[in-house]
Amino acid sequence: MNLNGTVAWVVGASSGIGAAVARELVSRGARVAISARREAQLADVSGGHMLVVPADVTDVASMAAAAARVRGELGPIDLVILSAGYWQQMRATDWDTDSFNRHVQVNLVGMSNGISAVLPEMLARQSGVIAGVASVAGYRGLAGAEAYGATKAGQINLLEALRIRVAGTGVHVTTVCPGFVRTEMTAGNDFPMPFIVEADAAGRAICDGLERERTEIVFPARMAILMKAARFVPVRMWVALFARAVRDPGRSRDPRPALSPTADLGRITVRRELPRHLPRTSAAVLATAVIGSLGTDVRSHWYRSLGKPAWQPPGVAFGPAWTTLYGLMSLASARALDRMEDPRKRRVFAAAFGTNLALNASWNWLFFKARRPRWALAEIILLEASTVDLTRRAGRADPTAATMLAPYAGWVAFATALNAAIARRNPGH
């Protein structure tokens, strides 16, 4: 999508991500209209370069009138970005139905009202882009985000269903799921916010994704990998991971809620917050994934000509599997490191962790680039031994970490058997 000359309407643009996207669109040559309830803040964001159209997302008539004004003054709307949002902490011991309803009205009904204001005209023109800003907080349930997370999950589902419905009509639907973004909503947070990005960077990421016509825009990359992997964690394991960490609201003397969803991501105030080693382990795992992917070529004539066992999974299964396993590995290793009080043990575990990742990444290069299945088999046997050792060391520090590493160990064992079967079937390679 070429943003230059595009008529773009940004809803929820008085601050935060919406304001940053509006400014970025102007810098790329778009003709921009901005809406929100706070007219004074909209004027500040506009700086005289945008059409200011006050509107209330919870009022369907207000949104319809705002869209009509944008079309009347700028022309047909090519792009709408629905970024209006609301959050407030929820407590199980003091359930606030008014707050929950407000979340639903602003986040979910508000997005529906925005879609209603532009979709009929876009379908009639057979052209247009609807981009809804949800959050990675909608991927899994988090204590305290019962309202915020539920509406973000609803937005993700709504946008996906709409995408299916309008396929082939010329209307494109994009889902935007940010991680932590530095805004006025996160300014007062007194806990670590991993991988946090500035609002301007978020605006650039969204506009880059729109120009590339992406169906889903998730950022930053490390948070995307971590949270997408979280979607594959079994329910019981997910509960075990967080139920032990979240404060018991009936016993805690700390008046702060266990979880405070921000405008961009549900957050958790836990006994230890997120594992403090998580940024490092995630960065290492991400580097491994990138290096390994650069050495992988499943489309090559050589690979397609190899004889393979009938029980090899289809190619589409490997991406989700490795995404899940990498996410579990980074989280499990961070947990284990956090619980090792002896610096020497931490160094030994870190070395074992690094060795495992090096073996993991190098296998792809031996198999696909060097085209040596037998060499790769010898290497993956070493990887399996390394994985068993890493799981054992993690278990000594934190049994839950070892449980989280078990699927990785099982997958490597399966990959070893698959590699052996391919090597047997192709003795000339």
Taking CA atoms, 68 is separated from 122, 146, 158, 208, 216, in Å, by: 13, 35, 24, 27, 28
* Tokens describing residue 59: 């009022």
Q: In the block, which residue shows the tokens 């970005």?
A: 81
CA distance 1 to 323: 29
Taking CA atoms, 190 is separated from 93, 258, 267, 268, 273, in Å, by: 24, 13, 11, 11, 11
Of 86, 148, 326, 408, the catalytic one is 148
CA distance 84 to 197: 19
CA distance 347 to 345: 5
Q: Among candidates 376, 402, 399, which has minimal Cα distance to 389? A: 402
139 a catalytic residue: no
* Tokens describing residue 128: 């247009």
Q: Report the chain's terminal Cα–Cα distance, integer Å.
A: 45
Angle (CA) 344 350 356, round 5°: 140
The string of DSSP codes covering 203-241 is HHHHHHHHHTT-SEEEESHHHHHHHHHHTTS-HHHHHHH
Identify the DSSP state of 137: G
Please, which residues bridge with residue 178 across strands? 219
Q: Are 410 and 418 in contact (CB under 8 A)?
A: no
Please, which residues bridge with residue 51 across strands? 33
Q: Are 262 and 253 in contact (CB under 8 A)?
A: no
**Any idea which residues carry the catalytic annotation?**
148
